[in-house]
A and B are shown apart, each in its own frame.
Chain A
Amino acid sequence: MKPQLLSMLPLAAVLAWPAVRAAEATPAPLAQAAQADDEAEAPARAAPRRAATRAFRPSLKYGVDDVLLEAGHFPRAPKADGSTTLRASPYALWQPAREWEFRVGARLDAVSQHGGSASYDEVRGDIADTYVRYRRGDTRLTVGAQTIVWGRVDGTPVIDRVSRVDLSRFALDDLPERRRAQLALRWEQTLGDYKLDAVVLPAFRGARLPDVDSVWSPVDRERGRIIGVAPSPGLEALVGAARIREGDRGSGGAALRLSKSGGAVDFGLTLAHTRQTLPYYQVDLAEPSLTAIYPYNRFAGVDAEFATGAYTWRIELGHTSDVPVTLAGGERRSARAIEGVVGVEFFPGGDDTRVTLQLAARSVRTGQTILELKEYYGVNGEVESMLAQGRWKLGMRFFSGLNEHDLYLAPKVSWLGWEPLEIYAVARHFDGGSRTLAGFHRDHDMFAIGLSTRF
């Protein structure tokens, strides 16, 4: 979502989005000028000039999404002094008939990390959304690689159970850029105000991980650390020496979502028996090795979204069983987890500043001592302000733990005057306890300049 729209954001958020009423998107007098007589019982004052729908015209669209070029400097990272990132997602979308749609897409990434103990260059390609879609009436079927992101809140939706996570740049990017396509069969059925969304993942793919030498790798071999796990001398020795490998593949499971939109409250129910794409590293002391595995979870969640006055509220609650956790001796056990997020979006003073705040909580229910955090409460969000008629944008993304020291701050200034280019400068600061995300990256403060666009 493009923030200049949302100022919102959203772009968008966007983009809360404006109460655009004018059919001709013109100011009030214009709206009046072309506005319907609101006392009318929808009379046909003039004979229809033409049928409402037009004859279908086959279409071919193509372009390049999500173009990013960024150069960054790490002032105190042992692994590197800087890095350069280039990525792009070319695509083509062909709709030869009203019912059929074909899309092919690719994701190209190039990274150069330099100036420290772990310099490397990498160029990788991956499949982006590439699918065949059939639609008829209120039914839509899609087969192929798809990016499906369920959720209502910004940041980290609890009900996001069928997407493939992209960790190649940790959490630096917006949510759409932190998700990848994976093979799925999807059936979407609209039933009045309700929508049924069924997804089957026949071929599982784990999260897209950065090179193990990357500063953003969840495994730090130099320090002997794994993100989210308490450090210890034993772990340090193990991580430094262990082979790191991928676990089994197989299928990814299935999930079902029922949602309703259009009333005073939008809400949804989600059931899933899927494998989450974030890896759990299983320890084998004998080899030694760390194997990324992806156990099945059972998930049940509810979510809702509503507006009160100038505030939009978004809520997600979920219960997950079979969450892998690690005992002090390195053994894996399963536990239950309860997660919740309450988010609010508003515009202070009704002006060009947009604020989103999320209060997130996660509780792992186990009676045993584990290396991971059992309880985590935190707040995350974003503040954006548009200046000079949307030519400049000031923003700040953040997250902060409430029961743990875990702090991420990313102030950013962007120039948006050469649409559709965004040219920006950003500072990223991490600090926190040993088992937190920002604590793991506490040496990875970064200053970066970059541009993003699409064609």
Chain B
Amino acid sequence: MGLECGSGLSLLRATLAAALLATGWPAPVLADEAADLAQAVHARPAGRDLTTVSLMELTDKGRAPRQRELVAYRLNKGRGEAVNLIRFLDPADIAGIGLLSLDKADEASEQWLYLPELDRVRRIAGDRKGGRFVGSDLNYEDLQERKPSRDRHRLIGKEPVGGVDCDLLESTPVEASNSVYLKRISWVDRATAMVMRVDYFEKDLATPSKRWLLLSRKKHGEYWTVMDSRVTDLATGHETRMTVQSVLYDRKLPAKLFTPQALADESIEAEYRP
């Protein structure tokens, strides 16, 4: 994986250099440093496995908020592979629905959805990027791991967020087709390699369409964790707030938890809930 990441970075740099020579554009400011920062954010350690219980609250102006509670497990399998299992706990009409995803080193993804009403596990396509996740302000792409090599990065300034000095990292897809966004600008706390804010540009390179903001973070052992955050649709004002209620790292979650069989039998998964 180290070789792969290194190759990816080299390729990224070579691509950027070639593009600059071809276009005669001024060199992006600190391109290598930007790529290094993007890689640092991506590679920041977060344990072998992770368990969280979270509350997602969707708020529309003038309407009662809607809530979803979910438990999520993640296992880092090494060599660039990871598996995730998510189970919705509330509200009643979606409780029990589960999702299992296997993210491969080549960024391909295999996914299965469990439907309790049918007691059936369905395979689903992992390539979806657009569309809103459970009515939230998150696109499906926002929930996917995006490797730094898929974007061109450059540092465009500095600006504090919540009293924390941040570098502004602009990330533009190398291939426009693999993202629903034209670009993203991230406010990165270099000391912790944590992203504090992101502006997403979906239709217009000059005007962000939505904003993600970190509201609270906490260090668990050696791992920083986002505990509270908010995504705002800047056009409609609709908000999605995600509050992490419980976090557990490195519990030695077994591989058998991340199987279609465990996905289909909630009682197996329930034993591992915090």
Which one, A8, A27, A49, A147, contacts B248 given CB within 8 A?
A: A49
A30 and B244 alpha carbons, distance in the complex (Å): 11
A417 and B231 alpha carbons, distance in the complex (Å): 19
Which one, B43, B52, B123, contacts A305 given CB within 8 A?
A: B123
Tell me how many residues of A have a C-beta within 8 Å of chain B: 103
List residues of chain B with CB within 8 A of the CB of A119. none
A450 and B75 alpha carbons, distance in the complex (Å): 43
Q: Which of B71-100 contact A (CB under 8 A)?
A: 72-82, 84, 86, 88, 91-94, 97, 99
Which one, A5, A32, A53, A151, contacts B272 given CB within 8 A?
A: A53
List residues of chain A with CB within 8 A of the CB of B134. 4-5, 390
Chain A, residue nearest B2 (CB): A39
- CB of B10 within 8 A of chain A? no
The minimal Cβ–Cβ distance linking B125 to chain A, given in whole angstroms, is 4
The minimal Cβ–Cβ distance linking B209 to chain A, given in whole angstroms, is 13
Q: Which of A80-88, A240-248, A306-314 contacts B (4 or more CB under 8 A)?
A: A306-314
Q: Which of B89-114 contact A (CB under 8 A)?
A: 91-94, 97, 99, 101, 103, 109-113
> Do residues B250 and A24 form an inter-chain contact, with CB atoms below 8 A?
no
List residues of chain B with CB within 8 A of the CB of A345. 124-125
List residues of chain B with CB within 8 A of the CB of A38. 1, 43, 76, 78, 80-82, 145
Chain A, residue nearest B72 (CB): A23
Q: Which of B11-19, B25-33, B136-144 contacts A (4 or more CB under 8 A)?
A: B136-144
> Do residues A21 and B101 form an inter-chain contact, with CB atoms below 8 A?
yes
A345 and B251 alpha carbons, distance in the complex (Å): 37
Interface residues on B, range: 35 or more
List residues of chain B with CB within 8 A of the CB of A40. 45, 48, 76, 78
List residues of chain B with CB within 8 A of the CB of A51. 251
Chain A, residue nearest B251 (CB): A52
Known: A5-B134, A307-B110, A351-B131. A26 touches B229 (CB 8 A): yes
Known: A22-B143, A38-B76, A53-B271. A419 touches B91 (CB 8 A): yes
A175 and B49 alpha carbons, distance in the complex (Å): 37
> Do residues B120 and A149 form an inter-chain contact, with CB atoms below 8 A?
yes
A294 and B81 alpha carbons, distance in the complex (Å): 51
> Do residues A23 and B50 form an inter-chain contact, with CB atoms below 8 A?
yes
Q: Which of A24-73 contact B (CB under 8 A)?
A: 24-54, 56, 63
List residues of chain B with CB within 8 A of the CB of A41. 78-79
Known: A14-B113, A35-B44, A40-B48. A140 touches B126 (CB 8 A): no
List residues of chain A with CB within 8 A of the CB of B265. 135, 140
Query: SS class of chain A's interface: helix, strand, loop or mixed?
Result: loop
The minimal Cβ–Cβ distance linking B199 to chain A, given in whole angstroms, is 11
- CB of A323 within 8 A of chain B? no
Chain B, residue nearest A29 (CB): B195
Q: A12-B115, A49-B221, A352-B132 are in contact. List 7 more A-B contacts (CB 8 A).
A: A2-B93, A12-B97, A12-B113, A20-B111, A26-B229, A45-B45, A174-B117
Q: Which 5 A-B pairs have the closest CB atoms?
A: A390-B135, A16-B124, A23-B74, A29-B195, A36-B76
Give B contacts to A, CB under 8 Å. 1-2, 5, 41-52, 54, 56, 58, 60, 63, 66, 70, 72-82, 84, 86, 88, 91-94, 97, 99, 101, 103, 109-113, 115, 117-138, 140-146, 180, 186, 194-195, 198, 212, 214, 217, 221-226, 229, 231, 238, 242, 244, 247-254, 259-261, 265, 267, 271-274
Give A contacts to B, CB under 8 Å. 1-2, 4-54, 56, 63, 95, 98, 101, 135, 138, 140, 147-149, 151-152, 174-176, 190, 193, 195, 261-262, 264, 266, 305-312, 345-347, 349-352, 386, 389-391, 416-417, 419-420, 422, 453-455
